[in-house]
Amino acid sequence: MLKGIAPILNPDLLWLIAAMGHGDELVLVDRNYPALATAKATLTGRLITLDGVDTTEAARAILTLLPLDGFVETPILRMEVTGEPATVLPVHADLKAVADAAEGRDVAMGSIERLAFYAAARRGFGVVQTSEARPYGCFILKKGVVFD
């Protein structure tokens, strides 16, 4: 256990976040997502599971350490609701609120169609699967630069 670091950030997740470079993408997904199959295709081949943790809690902890990319228009992509691409679900709004608070600014969140999300996720750095029960609780977070 480390002081000042959320206890849900286990050693494997800490390594994943630290090993990422600017522009690398962390895939944060819900319990329904085919995480293991996707993780095998990522750059690191790593799947980290956070049992008993929802997406909001996971993002809150991760974003204490992971800066979001300020050089791109949308450093967060959410999985779109099938057939309703403009629908923003509570799980999406919750993650955005956490990101805004962590960054101290309004962070733009884009969206990506479900099947396109699967393809994009396979190009990620690694996958973190939560126990999120709300559907479409799947996101891609692009790592930014630490300036201080």
Q: Is there a catalytic annotation at residue 118?
A: yes
Tokens of residue 75, six digits? 């450093």
Neighbours of 107 (CB within 10 A): 22
Helices 90-103 and 55-62: crossing angle in degrees, nearest 10, is 20
Three state DSSP letters for 33-69: CCHHHHHHHCCCCCEEEECCCCHHHHHHHHCCCCCEC
Q: Is there a catalytic annotation at residue 69?
A: yes
One of 24, 30, 69, 94 is an active-site residue; which one?
A: 69
**Alpha carbon separation from 68 to 11, 12, 34, 43, 112 (Å, rounded):** 21, 20, 25, 19, 18
Q: Is there a catalytic annotation at residue 22?
A: yes
**Which residues does the annotation mark as catalytic?**
22, 69, 118
